[in-house]
Amino acid sequence: MVSITLSYDAEKMIVGEYKCSLATVTTNRIDSKALQENRPDIYSLFIKPSTYEKLTIR
């Protein structure tokens, strides 16, 4: 049996004994393009790659 519930920003599913959710996560980040154009000296000191997805299965 599969049950799907949509609530706000997360999709939740129950598949057998497993509870799954996929959520959109919003964070505040620096506008790197504007910083790079206006202050490349500061931009180069603080850049690092960041990737984020979250899948929860219980």
E-strand ranges in the chain read: 2-7, 10-15, 18-23, 55-57
- pLDDT confidence of residue 19: 84
What pLDDT is stored for residue 10 in this prediction? 55
Residue 53 has φ and ψ, to the nearest 5°, of: -140, 150
In tens, the pLDDT along 4-57 reads 554 445 577 787 888 888 888 888 878 989 999 999 999 999 888 888 888 888
List the domain boundaries for the chain.
2-57
